[in-house]
């Protein structure tokens, strides 16, 4: 396949960019603050979309997760999705499950859909509080009346799912298939609690390709591994994480051949990686993003352990914040990560500049490291010299601002 087959669009309106999707973003004061903050997104697809999702592995999944997981397992097709921010509907017990069911019922009724299982509910925000059902019900009605494929409404929908994010996260990719231009588009939210198995993050992805549910599921799982599961802000995971992918076949193009499927897989990974990078780049009060590459590990699992030990070390993250290379703390994190490593095979590089080689620090490069670590984005390459497996993790620094921001809600 040629480069022309795939293109990331310079501008995106999120799901509104995908043919067959209509979206809405409204304000219904979930947080009960009397402000006009957008906090409810609704979208509908025609025709019905095959759907696949990756949900949090959390042992206390929020009510909408329990509902969506069961529903999609039984019937992997959707017509509509409703998402609220400001309240996670987590740790809310049987009451919370009832609220999620009611929310789904209201959407089904407002849109005149034949089955409740055609609607997915998603929530994000504070844990342990009941949803404000009356205000949500009004919001859903208003959303239903606003549904459109206009860019502005796509942006409103993408804004409505944000919590402590400071920026909208949307991406659109076009790819050529069977002589037609198809679309993959998505919106996401991130900010805090970002680590493996996705943490408090939501992503809603859509394509107008026709894809069977089984392949959709496989492709999504693979793409999530290399993107949303390979970022870390604070190591915390959450009760509500969801990545949903819908394929409505609006284009009439069915992905059957290996070439088509491979192209789609590639486009999906690009979309997920683009959104994942936007999430880590907007981590709570961060000042930089570090790409951690662990190479020559004994196994991929060990490469990942080493990368996460580095990316989650408070000492390493604090030193990045202070523009201090401090490769010693990096070596320390690798050493307790449970990955096999030896002092005389370990190599540490800032971008391409060596900091530690063959058991010795390269102090002569110190000024170069300092400049690199002062950049808003750099690569930390750690070579273990034990095998041929590698892992890539995007991590943020840790700032005084993060602690201050999270010291109370």
Asked whether position 212 contacts a copy of itself by CB under 8 A, the answer is: no
Asked whether position 326 contacts a copy of itself by CB under 8 A, the answer is: yes
Alpha-carbon span 163 to 86, nearest angstrom: 7
Asked whether position 385 contacts a copy of itself by CB under 8 A, the answer is: no
Alpha-carbon span 208 to 250, nearest angstrom: 5
Asked whether position 252 contacts a copy of itself by CB under 8 A, the answer is: no
327-336 helix and 314-321 helix, angle to the nearest 10 degrees: 160
Q: Are 207 and 254 in contact (CB under 8 A)?
A: no
Asked whether position 376 contacts a copy of itself by CB under 8 A, the answer is: no
Shortest approach of a copy of itself to residue 216 CB, angstroms? Answer: 26
C-alpha separations of 202 from 11, 35, 67, 354, 360 in Å: 20, 23, 16, 38, 44
81, two tokens: 């999705």
Shortest approach of a copy of itself to residue 157 CB, angstroms? Answer: 26
The region of 112-120, 181-189, 268-276, 340-348 touching a copy of itself under the rule CB under 8 A is 340-348
Q: Pick between residue 170 and residue 233 the one whose CB is nearest to a copy of itself.
A: 233
Shortest approach of a copy of itself to residue 401 CB, angstroms? Answer: 8
Q: Pick between residue 159 and residue 284 the one whose CB is nearest to a copy of itself.
A: 284
Alpha-carbon span 306 to 360, nearest angstrom: 20
Contact with a copy of itself (CB under 8 A) among 332, 365, 374, 379: 332
Q: Which helix (H) or strand (E) holds 133?
A: helix 133-146
Please give the residues from 107 up to 146 whose contact with a copy of itself meets the rule CB under 8 A. 126-129
Please give the residues from 350 up to 369 whose contact with a copy of itself meets the rule CB under 8 A. 356, 359-361
Asked whether position 9 contacts a copy of itself by CB under 8 A, the answer is: no
Shortest approach of a copy of itself to residue 211 CB, angstroms? Answer: 31
300-312 helix and 327-336 helix, angle to the nearest 10 degrees: 130
Q: Pick between residue 335 and residue 387 the one whose CB is nearest to a copy of itself.
A: 335
Q: Pick between residue 8 and residue 91 the one whose CB is nearest to a copy of itself.
A: 91
Please give the residues from 66 up to 105 whose contact with a copy of itself meets the rule CB under 8 A. 90-91, 93-94
**Beta strands 202-207 and 242-247: pairing type?**
parallel
Q: Which helix (H) or strand (E) holds 360?
A: strand 360-361
C-alpha separations of 166 from 107, 116, 190, 211, 334 in Å: 29, 34, 10, 34, 32
- DSSP assigned state of 322: T
Catalytic amino acids? 200
Asked whether position 391 contacts a copy of itself by CB under 8 A, the answer is: no
The region of 134-142, 157-165, 242-250, 307-315 touching a copy of itself under the rule CB under 8 A is 307-315
Q: Are 19 and 208 in contact (CB under 8 A)?
A: yes
Binding site for a copy of itself (CB under 8 A): 57-61, 90-91, 93-94, 126-129, 192-193, 197, 234-239, 312-315, 318-319, 321-324, 326-329, 331-344, 346, 356, 359-361, 398-400, 402-409
């Amino acid at each position: 396949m040629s480069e022309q087959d795939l293109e990331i669009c310079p501008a995106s309106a999120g799901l509104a960019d995908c043919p067959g999707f209509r979206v809405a973003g409204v304000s219904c004061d979930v947080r009960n603050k009397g402000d006009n903050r957008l906090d409810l997104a609704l979208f509908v697809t025609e025709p019905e979309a095959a759907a696949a999702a990756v949900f949090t592995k959390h042992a206390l999944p929020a009510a909408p997760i329990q509902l969506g997981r069961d529903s999609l397992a039984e019937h992997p097709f959707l017509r509509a999705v409703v998402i609220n921010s400001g309240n996670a509907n987590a740790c809310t017990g049987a009451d919370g499950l009832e609220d999620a069911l009611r929310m789904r019922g209201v959407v089904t009724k407002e849109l005149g859909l034949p089955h409740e299982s055609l609607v997915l509910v998603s929530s994000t925000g504070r844990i342990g509080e009941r949803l404000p059902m009356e205000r949500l019900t009004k919001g859903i009605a208003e959303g239903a009346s606003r549904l459109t494929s206009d860019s502005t409404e796509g942006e409103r929908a993408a804004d409505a799912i944000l919590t402590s994010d400071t920026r909208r996260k949307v991406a659109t990719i076009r790819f050529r298939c069977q002589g037609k231009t198809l679309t993959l588009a998505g919106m996401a939210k991130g900010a805090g609690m970002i680590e493996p198995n996705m943490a408090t993050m939501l992503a809603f992805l859509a394509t107008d390709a026709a894809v069977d549910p089984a392949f959709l599921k496989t492709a999504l799982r693979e793409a999530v591994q290399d993107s949303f599961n390979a970022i870390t802000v604070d190591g915390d995971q959450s009760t509500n994480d969801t990545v949903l992918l819908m394929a409505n076949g609006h284009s009439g193009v069915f992905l059957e051949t290996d070439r088509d499927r491979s192209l789609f897989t590639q486009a999906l990974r690009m979309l997920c990686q683009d959104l994942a990078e936007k999430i880590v780049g907007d981590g709570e009060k961060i000042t930089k993003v570090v790409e951690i590459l662990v190479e020559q590990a004994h196994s991929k699992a060990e490469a990942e352990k080493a990368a996460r030990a580095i990316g989650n070390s408070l000492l390493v993250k604090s030193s990045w914040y202070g523009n201090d290379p401090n490769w010693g703390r990096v070596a320390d994190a690798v050493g307790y990560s449970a990955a096999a490593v030896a002092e005389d095979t370990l190599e540490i590089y800032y971008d391409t500049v060596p900091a530690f080689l063959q058991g010795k620090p390269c102090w002569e490069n110190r000024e170069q490291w300092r400049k690199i670590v002062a950049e808003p984005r750099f690569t930390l390459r750690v070579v273990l010299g034990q095998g041929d497996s590698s892992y890539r993790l995007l991590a943020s620094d840790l700032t005084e601002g993060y602690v201050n921001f999270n010291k109370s809600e």
